[in-house]
Structures are given as structure tokens and as C-alpha cells.
């Protein structure tokens, strides 16, 4: 067992770093490939990550930082000396650079920017002002652009001559700009090669589709859907070319967002956590969510406290309260999931809350009837009291209706009011269904108390 | 309000279809773009979808079918006449075609295949044998390949001459094959254009990285990470070229899989549901999950029934039971989410269950202490009995430890035993934490019964 574990890449990296074997570490990391190297680094704690990263070449370190989840990357860069950090940050692609700088404390970001070339630093500052999930935040600065008067043959020669520096550039399309930097057209490099060498770009380009920096990830996704282009240029209000958004970056950003959403829906507040983070950080973030939930739970449970006499008289009800609470949570959760999915697909909009409400009611009626009958049946088998069956079965039926209609419409309503449905849907749903569930069971029981005792 | 709603694309589509205005419908759908058209179709019920789809040109219909979630696409195609279905299926990209045929009942699939050209049908059958999430299921047949003896100039002329037919093809790389169909090399079309026109491909190509049809989505994702190539050829055991897996398709498949996982984690069994599906189908699928859950809930609640005398003596405990059940679910869920994330990122493996268990315990200890103190404090404020505080606070502390360690390790263990962690983690977690929570509270109470009454 220890032997197998010894071969784990993260352990090997650490050994090489501890032995100050720079050459060995570089070779080993190169042999792992970026994916495996990223996984190895994520398994290390912050201190060890720092040790390994600073021993790698800035380019290798930048490759790894680019593929680490945003928040871990920010923690890691913040822990480095600004000079060392700047060396690595400089090697990153412009959009990744901007994301990273945006995630840092502003002091740390400034310290790093001060270590960079003024021009690079200005570019980075400009990009960092955009949110991660709009065109401005997703675009890269590494693209090909040429003046409209440039001659096809010269452009091609220029590309061949600078092939190496352009390695990280997006090279499918060449964007054509006026002398003021306005986007005037585009030509696929593939087509450029087939064009007459003596013509100016103005004569071979086609008009370019473009987008604005504030355009959202959804809109970009819709834009690329059904179009075969693989990148779209971003222009400012004056028509000046700012950068290029690549289709594959949009897809990656969408996938990452789904993952973060999944985490937030389950109470990981920032949308990200891995176990290599410091225990105290993990504890604090999880607790922030749990403490809201326990307060909501106490509020819901206070309904039970109000009916403590009824409960004392029919103690069997205490067995059914957690079941009704939990089952209503389950049925409501299904409806939440479908609404989140429909929001993501763009087939439900906040204004559809009423339609969703009705659609859910019909499913809830059938499932509530099935579950209520089952639970009522169990109550009857246990206690042989048909009124007890009616109380618990009827309550579950009604509460299922409440759960699905609330679960279905709450994410849409939250979205309308600008609240994150991933984070808030569950606590709202379960608090309402708990309150209603407890109230239904106990108030029905209070009404029929003579038949139940 | 009705006016605004009237302008909804799905309603407009239906109006045009009902008026049998083929031309109008085609023009309108084209004006929507694929993304919006897909959303419109998803809002229709099956019958109306059928009506709209059959009025569109097969190419337009195929574009829409390709972008509809798999299961809805299958339902829709199954509802069409095999002949009409075949006309549409024929226009789909080979990988989408294979996915779709794989999702159909085998009879329906055969009926459609019989309407297709024998050669196309054979290709489709071959692709349909692979799972959706392995290289064989993700690859497309629409790629460029040429014999190694072909001359660069001829290849380029051939490409220009057939530009239109190749519209849907993947055209970044030209794959070079031997006369037996073995993959021998690759050349970027970009480089091809810059190569001497008189040379054979064998002299300008480079060796190709390749993959096998059974390689998984994870492995493909890792393969593309850190490599700048945008597609990889798939070869069989004899080295024959079967198809090409594109990087962007891999990214899309990953995003889709996360979405389905999110749905399954919340009890949508097939991993997909939209409200345009028939109510009965939606009800049945949701109920299959709910009925498992209610049985598990009954098992857990039977612990309460065993202690009914203790509960009767200290009725206040009934207020705390649902809180402890719900809070343990919340803390456990956070741990599940982090494990699912680490599994997806590839930084946790099934063999890490023990490490995860320990890591979770330290977070659980702190959070359990915080939550237990809070709940104990509330109990003391309410009843002024310090023993009641100890019973409920101590139980929540202990149960939090159980919840996080189980929540963290269960997804890894399920994965090891080949069970879908998205679908099974929650019911297992909540059943165990409910049983333990109820048992802890009520058995502690039974021990201290004299101090509590």
C-alpha cells in the first residue's frame, strides 16, 4: 500500500521540490502533462503548492495556474512574492490573466501589476474590469489583426516569420482594422492562403459579425449555437476591436458554471471547494450556509412547539413529522431541478412562473396521491386508526402539492428578483414545506383530536 | 399580456403549422436561428412538435433535432413515420445520428435504418454500437482523409471543388491513410496550403496522435487538456481510421453530463426532464425515485417508533427531531458536493475514501460543535433544562461528524462499486444520518430520562 501511494504524482512532485531538484521536477511535470500535473498540484496544501510552482519555469507554472479552479489559483498567486507572481502571470493568456487578477485582493493585484511591463499591466487592468462571464471577461487579446491596406502576400509572410511568437494566438481568422483600430472585416486564414497574393485585405475580407464586451455568457452561447464560426470579435461602442471570444472558451465557461451551480445548490457558498484548502477556510464557508439553515429550521420547528399539547396527546404523530418534512423536500427538489434545467436551456423565463406552477400541480396531484396513500396505509397498519391515516396521508398529499408548485416557481421568481436561484431555492423551499407540513399534520390532528386518542 | 404572449416564438410556429403555411414556417424558423427555434420546439407538446418538424425541410428539422436534449429527440423521432424520420435522420451529423438511433427502441431504429441507403445505414449501425460517452460515440465520420500517395496540389484542388459538400465536415486537419485505410499521418489544412504543391502527402504529413473507440469522456478531456490540437482521430485495433473526435464536442458532452448529474442528484432519475414531456411520464419517473425515498424514510422513522415511550415522556424532543434530521442532511450534502466535484476534477479517486473521511472529520468537528452549541442553547432558552440541551446539542454534534464523513466517502465508495453516485448518494446519506440522529437523541434521552422529566 505505501509503495503504490509513493508513486502518486503529487508525492513525487513534493519529493523533487523538497530535494531542490529543479531539473528533475521540470522533467517530471512535463512527463505528466498539464492535466495530471494540475491534479497533483491540487492535492498539495498551499505551502507545498508554492514550493513546487516557484521551482517550475514561469511558462509551465502559468499552464498549471490556468487550469486550476479560479479560487485556488488566486490563493496560490496571493501567497507568492509579487515579483515571482508577476513572472508567472505574464505568461498567462490574457483572459485567464484578467480572471485571475480580478479574483485577487486589489492590493495583491496592484503589487503584481507594478512588477509587469506598463503596457501589459494596462491591458490587464482594462480586461480585469469585466466580469468573468461576459464577453469582455471571456475574450482574449491574442488574435491576428492587420490594417485593411495590408497586402495578402505580406500578411502571409509576416505570419510565417512570426509563427513561434504567435504560438498561443488564435489563428483561425485574421481581423481587419482601419487605421483607427475599428473592426472593418474578417477573413479566415484558410481563405487568405487561397487569395491572390497581391490584393489588399480590404478586397478579400468579408464583413464581420461582432459582439459587445457586456454581452452575457448565455447570449454568447446562443450566438454560437447554430452558427459554424468558432470565434467572434468584441468591439467597443466606437467599433474599435478589443478582443476575440472563442467558441471553446464559451463552452468551457458554461461547463464550469454548471459545476459551480451544482456546488452552490448543495450549500458550498462560493461555488467551489476542494479538500486541499485550509480546514478553517472550508469550515467557515460551510458554516455560513449551515447557520442560515439552522435558523430557518428552528423557525419551522417552532410550529411543532405551538402544537405541543396535540402532539403529547397523539405521540405517534412525532414519527410522521420527519417523514413529511423529508418527502416534501424531495418532491420539491425535483421541481427545483427541472426549473433550473429549463432556465439553463432558456426554455423557461422568470415570467413563466405561473405556467410552471400549473404544470407542477398536475404532477404533484398524482404523486401526492400515491405518496399520501402509502403513508396513510402505513399509519393504518401501525395503529389501526383510520383518522390517523387521513391526517398523515392527507397532509402529505396537500404538502406535496405545495412543495412541487413552490419548488417549480421559486427558482424563476428568484431569478426575476436577481437572487441566485442555486443558492437560495433550497432553504426557501424546505422552510416553507416544513412549516406547511407541520402545520397541516398538527392542525388536522387538533381538529380530530377526539378520534385520535 | 395576451399580446406579448402571442409574439412567443413557439406560439407563432404553431400558428403557421396549423395554417399549413410551409413557406411561412420555414422563413420564420430561419429568422429565429437554431437556438431560439430549439427553445420554441421544446415548449410545444409532442403532437405539435411533430406537426412543426414535418413541415420544415429535413435539413432544418435535423438542425433542431441535433440541439434538442437526447431523450426528447428520441421521443419525437419515434412519433414520426419511419420514412419521414429517415429523411430527417439522414441529414444529421454522424455522431448525433448514432446517439439518436441508440436512444430509440430497437424496432423504431430498425424501421428508420431500413428507409436509409444501405451504406449509410451500415455506418449508422456501426456507430450506434458505442456508448454516447466514449470516443466511438463522440466521433464524427465527416472528416477529410486522403491516401498517402495523393499530391498536395490535387488535394487542395479537390477541397476547393467540393467545398459545398464538405460544409458540415471537420476541415482543420487532413488525415492521411494507407491503401488499407490505416491511419499513417496528419497534416493541418493550414500547413497543407503552405506546402509545395507537387509533393505527395506522405512527404509533408506528421505522425498523428490517435485514440481508441472505447476511450472514455474523462480520458478524452484529459487528453485535450494541455494539448493545443482540436481533434483526435479514432482508430480500431488494426489501426484503421474510424472517425474523428472534436475537442468542442468533448467539451459539450462534459457540460451536458454535469447537467444530467445535477438532475439525477435531485431525484430526476433519467437525468433529464422538461415540462413539455407528457404529465404521466414525468409523474411516473419522479415517483420511482420518491417511492424509494419514502420507504427509506419509513425505515429511519421506525427508530422513533421504538422510543415512543421516551418521546411521550419528553415531548419537547419531537420539536428537535426534524431539525437534527434536516441539518445532518445539509452538512452531509456539502461533503457529497465536494466529493462529486473532486471526482469530476479527477483529484479524488475511489481509493481516497479514507483520506476524505479524515479530512471531513476535522471540518465536521468544528461545524458540529458550532451547530450543537447553538441548538443546545436554544433548547436551554426554551425549557431551561441543561440536560435537554446536552441531549440535543450533543446529538447534533455527533451526527454532524457522521454526516460529513459518510457524505464525503459515500460517493467515492459508490463509484468504486460501479453505482452512480449522483443518484444514490443522497438517499443513502439521509437514511443513515436520520437513523443515527434519531437514535442518538432518543437513546441519550432514555439514559437521562430522570433528569429530563
Inter-chain CB proximity A347 and B263 less than 8 Å: no
Residues of B in contact with A363 (CB under 8 A): 279, 282-283, 286
CB A121 within 8 A of CB A89: no
Residues of B in contact with A336 (CB under 8 A): 266
Residues of A in contact with B261 (CB under 8 A): 262
Give the model's pLDDT for residue A226. Answer: 64
Chains A & B: contacts with CB separation below 8 Å: 315
Give the model's pLDDT for residue A3. Answer: 41
Number of other residues whose CB lies within 10 A of the CB of residue B431: 17
- How many angstroms separate the Cα of B165 from the Cα of each of B143, B156, B277? 12, 15, 36
**What pairing do the DSSP bridges indicate for beta strands B143-147 and A241-246?**
unpaired
Residues of A in contact with B293 (CB under 8 A): 326-327, 330
Question: How many whole angstroms separate alpha carbon A262 and alpha carbon B338?
Answer: 10
Question: How many whole angstroms separate alpha carbon A154 and alpha carbon A152?
Answer: 6
Give the model's pLDDT for residue B7. Answer: 67
**Concatenated DSSP letters for A63-74?**
HHHHHS-HHHHH
| Candidates B337, B421, B432, B441, partner chain A, best to mutate (most A CBs within 10 A) | B337
Number of other residues whose CB lies within 10 A of the CB of residue B241: 21
Number of other residues whose CB lies within 10 A of the CB of residue A207: 9
Give the model's pLDDT for residue A2. Answer: 39
Please report, in tens digits, the pLDDT of each residue of chain A (453 residues total): 334 445 688 889 999 999 999 999 999 998 887 778 888 898 888 889 999 999 999 999 998 998 888 888 998 999 899 999 999 999 898 888 888 988 888 899 999 999 998 988 888 888 888 888 899 999 998 899 999 999 999 999 998 888 888 877 888 899 999 999 999 999 988 788 878 889 999 999 999 999 999 999 988 988 887 677 889 999 999 999 999 999 888 988 888 888 888 888 888 887 788 887 888 888 888 998 999 999 999 999 999 999 999 999 999 999 999 999 999 999 999 999 999 988 888 788 888 888 889 889 999 999 999 999 999 999 999 999 999 999 999 999 999 999 999 999 999 999 999 888 988 999 999 999 999 999 999 999 999 999 988
Closest CA to A89 of A109, A106, A105, A69: A109
CB B29 within 8 A of CB B60: yes
| Candidates A72, A218, A255, partner chain B, best to mutate (most B CBs within 10 A) | A255
Closest residue in A to B43 (Cα) is A347
Contact residues for A396 (Cβ-Cβ < 8 A; gap 6+) = A323, A324, A327, A328, A368, A371, A372, A375, A376, A437
Closest CA to B72 of B33, B45, B92, B54: B45
Tens digits of residue pLDDT in B377-390: 999 999 999 999 99
Closest residue in B to A363 (Cα) is B283
Give the model's pLDDT for residue B133. Answer: 86
Closest CA to A108 of A134, A89, A132: A89
Give the model's pLDDT for residue A7. Answer: 67
Domains of chain A are 2-129 (1.25.60.10), 143-265 (3.10.580.10), 279-452 (1.10.357.20)
Closest residue in B to A247 (Cα) is B248
Residues of B in contact with A282 (CB under 8 A): 363
Give the model's pLDDT for residue B5. Answer: 45
A240 burial type by CB count under 10 A (0-12 exposed, 13-18 middle, 19+ buried): middle
Inter-chain CB proximity A330 and B261 less than 8 Å: no
Helices A46-55 and A58-67: crossing angle in degrees, nearest 10, is 140
How far does B134 lie from chain A, in Å, by closest CA? 18
Report the percent of chain B where pLDDT is more than 90: 54
Q: Give the least confident one: A294-298, B4-8, B116-120, B156-160.
A: B4-8
| Candidates A301, A376, A432, partner chain B, best to mutate (most B CBs within 10 A) | A301
How far does A315 lie from chain B, in Å, by closest CA? 6
Give the nearest partner residue to B251 out of A248, A300, A316, using CB atoms. Answer: A248
Give the nearest partner residue to B190 out of A38, A190, A438, using CB atoms. Answer: A190
Inter-chain CB proximity B330 and A293 less than 8 Å: yes
Give the model's pLDDT for residue A341. Answer: 86
B242's enclosing H/E stretch is strand B241-246
Inter-chain CB proximity B311 and A315 less than 8 Å: yes
Question: How many whole angstroms separate alpha carbon A184 and alpha carbon A188?
Answer: 14
The 10 Å CB-count burial string (b at 16+, else e) for B15-47 is ebbeeeeeeebeebbeebebbbbbbbbbbbebe
Report, as an integer, the average pLDDT of B366-387.
95
Give the model's pLDDT for residue A276. Answer: 78
B85 burial type by CB count under 10 A (0-12 exposed, 13-18 middle, 19+ buried): buried
Tens digits of residue pLDDT in B75-107: 899 989 999 999 999 989 888 888 898 888 889
Beta bridge partners of A146: A176
User: Scanning the structure block, which residue is given the C-alpha cell 396513500?
Assistant: A373
Amino acid at each position: 500500500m505505501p509503495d503504490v501511494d509513493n508513486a502518486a504524482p503529487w508525492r513525487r512532485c513534493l519529493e523533487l521540490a523538497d530535494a531542490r531538484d529543479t531539473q528533475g521536477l521540470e522533467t517530471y511535470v512535463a512527463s505528466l502533462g498539464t492535466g495530471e500535473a494540475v491534479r497533483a498540484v491540487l492535492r498539495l496544501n498551499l505551502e507545498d503548492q508554492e514550493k513546487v510552482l516557484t521551482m517550475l519555469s514561469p511558462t509551465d507554472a502559468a499552464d498549471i495556474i490556468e487550469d486550476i479552479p479560479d479560487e485556488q489559483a488566486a490563493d496560490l498567486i496571493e501567497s507568492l512574492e509579487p515579483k515571482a507572481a508577476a513572472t508567472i502571470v505574464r505568461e498567462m493568456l490574457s483572459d485567464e490573466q484578467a480572471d485571475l487578477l480580478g479574483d485577487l485582493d486589489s492590493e495583491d493585484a496592484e503589487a503584481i501589476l507594478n512588477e509587469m511591463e506598463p503596457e501589459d499591466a494596462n491591458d490587464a487592468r482594462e480586461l480585469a474590469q469585466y466580469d468573468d462571464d461576459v464577453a469582455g471577461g471571456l475574450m482574449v487579446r491574442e488574435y491576428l489583426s492587420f490594417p485593411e491596406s495590408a497586402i495578402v502576400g505580406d500578411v502571409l509572410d509576416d505570419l510565417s516569420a512570426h509563427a513561434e511568437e504567435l504560438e498561443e494566438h488564435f489563428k483561425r481568422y485574421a481581423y481587419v482594422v482601419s487605421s483607427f483600430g475599428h473592426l472593418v472585416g474578417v477573413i479566415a486564414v484558410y481563405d487568405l492562403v487561397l487569395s491572390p497574393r497581391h490584393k489588399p485585405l480590404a478586397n478579400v475580407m468579408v464583413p464581420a459579425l461582432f459582439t459587445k464586451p457586456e454581452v452575457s455568457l448565455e447570449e454568447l452561447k446562443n450566438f454560437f449555437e447554430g452558427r459554424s464560426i468558432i470565434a467572434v470579435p468584441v468591439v467597443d461602442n466606437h467599433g474599435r476591436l478589443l478582443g476575440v471570444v472563442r467558441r471553446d472558451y464559451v463552452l468551457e465557461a458554461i461547463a464550469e458554471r454548471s459545476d459551480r451551480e451544482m456546488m452552490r445548490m448543495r450549500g458550498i457558498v462560493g461555488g467551489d471547494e476542494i479538500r486541499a484548502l485550509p480546514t478553517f477556510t472550508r469550515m467557515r464557508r460551510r458554516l455560513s450556509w449551515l447557520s442560515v439553515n439552522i435558523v430557518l429550521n428552528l423557525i419551522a420547528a417552532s410550529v411543532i412547539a405551538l402544537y405541543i399539547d396535540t402532539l403529547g396527546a397523539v405521540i405517534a404523530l412525532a414519527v410522521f413529522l420527519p417523514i413529511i418534512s423529508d418527502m416534501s423536500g424531495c418532491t420539491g427538489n425535483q421541481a427545483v431541478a427541472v426549473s433550473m434545467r429549463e432556465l439553463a436551456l432558456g426554455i423557461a423565463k422568470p415570467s413563466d412562473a405561473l405556467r410552471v406552477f400549473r404544470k407542477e400541480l398536475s404532477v404533484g396531484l398524482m404523486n401526492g396521491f400515491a405518496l399520501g396513500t402509502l403513508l396513510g396505509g402505513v399509519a393504518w397498519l401501525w395503529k389501526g386508526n383510520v383518522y390517523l391515516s387521513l391526517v398523515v396521508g392527507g397532509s402529505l398529499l396537500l404538502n406535496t402539492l405545495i412543495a412541487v408548485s413552490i419548488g417549480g416557481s421559486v427558482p424563476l421568481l428568484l431569478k426575476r428578483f436577481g437572487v441566485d436561484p442555486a443558492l437560495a431555492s433550497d432553504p426557501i423551499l424546505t422552510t416553507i414545506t416544513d412549516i406547511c407540513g407541520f402545520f397541516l399534520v398538527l392542525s388536522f390532528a387538533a381538529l380530530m383530536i377526539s378520534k385520535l386518542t
